[in-house]
Amino acid sequence: MSTNLLELPGATRGQKARIILALAIPAMIENFFQTVVGFVDTLFVSRLGLTEVAAVGVTNAILAVYIAVFMALGVGTSSMIAKNVGAGDLEQAKAIARQATWAASAAGLFFGVVTFFFAEALLRIMGAEPNVITEGVKYFRIVAVPSILISLMTVFGSILRAAGNTKTPMKIGLWINVFHIPLDYVLIFGIAGFNGLGLTGAAWATTIVRIAGAALLYLHIRKTTLSFPITQGFMFNRTYAFPLLKLSAPAAMERLIMRFGQVLYFGLIVRISTDTYAAHTIAGNIEVFSYMPGYGLAVAAATLVGQSLGAKRRQDAYQFGIIATLIAVLFMSFVGVLLFFLSPAAASWFTHEPDVTGMVITALRIDAFAQPFLAIGLVLAGALQGAGDTKSPLYSTTIGMWLIRVIGVYVLGISFGLGIAGVWLSIAIDLFVRALFLMYRFNKKMKGGRSEPMRS
């Protein structure tokens, strides 16, 4: 695939939609296989017991804070590389890729050290019960001490996608995830004379595939026009580091505010009951499939908006963002219908306890109605970040998470006694408000380019 997909000046809406889907579909498939692994992992762990499900859920809530920083670096990397690819300056793009690798390595090592020394303390801060902490510490240390693997996978994937190559991360994701599922089963439950390691086995399976993923992504970067030796990544160059940090810092703040808000409201859910938290975790692992179209189209929007602005084609940038959003709304509205009607069957895969099953169904059916707003928020956040505006998603997350979601969980879930229904109603209201805000910000950002009529 060409590094620059903007080869159709004056493209019609249909042609733009095809360009978007050419980028988005591989990213959707990649997200699908990543999601399948998380889904299967949780399914396997649920066979060990609800305590283990809660341990993985609480641990991953903390790990999500680390990943928030790595993804923010990926956002800054994608925006800068996409603009330089659009402008035809590949040397600048390669220099940014080297600097992003250095930053990702430093961040991954830092969080690995934090996990090694403070794993138990972090789980305790989350409000986990003693039996959950006992299981969670082992899992947490195995998957998060080597956080450099997660950070490098995130940034290497961002480098390839920003250059218009979403097929390679998809193929790598396919192979490592195909390998992960049987490895996960064997290490958890055992085979032949091997008895299995339980939750510890799930952690080791995850770590092993991350080693493979980071190595394969880098090897493929070496085959592209953005190739750089890994040893040249470990240096500080203020020419590229400061702009990268300037873009990444608001994205990091946005994701950290989201993750810390999640930590807080996860703690509130734990206060309701362990069963409620387990049901919330199960519902989240089912619902995450709905994110696949949105994430894939957000990647396409970020890349195409960034490349269009780099090529000084502002109107194309606006149209790519709007068309990608409309496609996402269609896809995710259909997913919402599936969530509503298939939630009982999906819940039964994880648990046969009637109370927990009922809570999972309630959560998913509420979420079904929020899917169009989730689609708008995901894609427009990606489009704005591709345009170099990492502050608008920060503002929307701050308002949505802290003023709506956290307070809503406390008021609706705890004070009004609505339990899981109150939790997911709060999430739905947050997504609705966030979608309106990001639509306003995107239109305002791009209003200078709307004088051109859109071709049909």
| Angstrom distance (rounded) from CA 136 to CA 144 | 12
For the chain, 456 residues long, the average pLDDT of each consecutive 10-residue run is 49 84 85 70 80 81 82 85 83 87 92 93 82 85 92 91 84 86 90 84 90 92 84 65 81 79 82 87 84 87 88 89 95 94 90 89 95 96 89 90 89 91 94 95 76 38
Cα angle 389-394-399, degrees, rounded to a multiple of 5: 140
| Residues 300 and 26: beta-carbon distance below 8 Å | no
Give the pLDDT score at 456: 34
Phi, psi of 23 (to 5 degrees): -85, -40
Strand partners for 191: 194
Q: What token pair was written down for 195? A: 């008895």
Domain ranges of the chain: 13-446
Give the pLDDT score at 235: 63
The conformation of residue 448, written as its DSSP 8-state character, comes to G
Give the pLDDT score at 1: 42
Q: How does DSSP assign 359-413, residue by residue?
A: HHHHHHHHHHTTHHHHHHHHHHHHHHHHTT--HHHHHHHHIIIIIIIHHHIIIII
| Angstrom distance (rounded) from CA 11 to CA 454 | 9
